[in-house]
Amino acid sequence: MSRRGIDRLPKPPKKYQIQPGVLEDGTWFAFETKDEAKEEDKERCKRASRLISKKRKIDHQWRRSEIAALIDRIDSASTVASSVYMRKHRKRVGGHLLRLMSRDITAVRMFTLLPANWIYPAGSLCEADAVKLLTALRQALRRKGANRASGWLFAFIDGEYDSASDTFRLHVHGLASGEMIDVVKRMKGTRNLQPFSKSKREGAVRRPVLSQKITTTPIRAATYVMKSHWGERPFFQGEGLTPKRPRGKRRIDHIQPFVEHLLWLDQWRLQDLALLIGMSVSRAGFKIHRKCT
């Protein structure tokens, strides 16, 4: 019997439900409304429809029938590529993560992992197998002591498009508690997560393992780890090629990589993109197997 996936999480208790509003620190917490998610899906369908118009040449291997089927699934909110679908599940996952964090926020850290070998040229994103990538990541975490560590770990695949190199970079955002925090920090020594100053691998970055205390309000961290969109990396301008990151969410501007990332997301179930260690999904929410000591 297969385990329950995160797509079967129930609604969290009212106290932990994700809603936009003013937080305890006086700042505004923004979270897309259902109407905003519907408008985003309309825009996704519109851009995908433009790609399969008779006047446009499709450069990559996709068939127009595949893109047409994608549009239908986005329109019915029955795919990970749909903003409406992701909003529903981000509210549930985020609410239950918030519930876990409320037990002891000081024992939880946010993290990001950017493996050097998780980079794919545009047109070849289909070669990225989410299940295999997370299986390899789970094995790497086990080698660093995840099997023996107390606490829990939740991670979810995110991605971004780099228009300068015409590539996609996949990575994970996550939350870790207890001894799992040290397990994540020990990942700095792994082959695919070495900084570019030490690594010979193309695609290595300056800080491939990021771990930080949750200094902002917990609800922001609970919803940040599982995003409903992919964006573009900062674009460069000026004499010094100074990177300028646009404010707010920035959609992938180039239409073919935009549709390519939607096609990639569409082939996976929600649980295929998530990694859970020391925890599982129950009828009541997340079940923790190894409590923090």
Tokens 């997560």 belong to residue: 193
Report d(CA 220, CA 96) in Å as an integer.
13
Question: pLDDT tens digit string along 1-42?
Answer: 457 899 999 999 999 999 999 888 889 999 999 999 999 999
**pLDDT given at position 64:** 84
- H/E segment holding residue 110: strand 108-113
User: Any residues with CB less than 8 A from the CB of 260 and at least 6 apart, and which?
Assistant: 60, 62, 122, 123, 125, 168
The mean pLDDT value of the chain amounts to: 88
Closest to 175 in 3D by CA, of 227, 111, 219: 111
Report d(CA 199, CA 187) in Å as an integer.
14
Question: pLDDT tens digit string along 109-135?
Answer: 999 999 989 999 999 999 999 999 999
Report d(CA 271, CA 27) in Å as an integer.
32
**pLDDT given at position 133:** 97
**Paired tokens of 192:** 């695919």
**pLDDT given at position 264:** 97
Report d(CA 272, CA 144) in Å as an integer.
23
Question: pLDDT tens digit string along 158-170?
Answer: 999 988 889 999 9
Q: Do 244 and 236 contact (CB within 8 A), yes or no?
A: yes
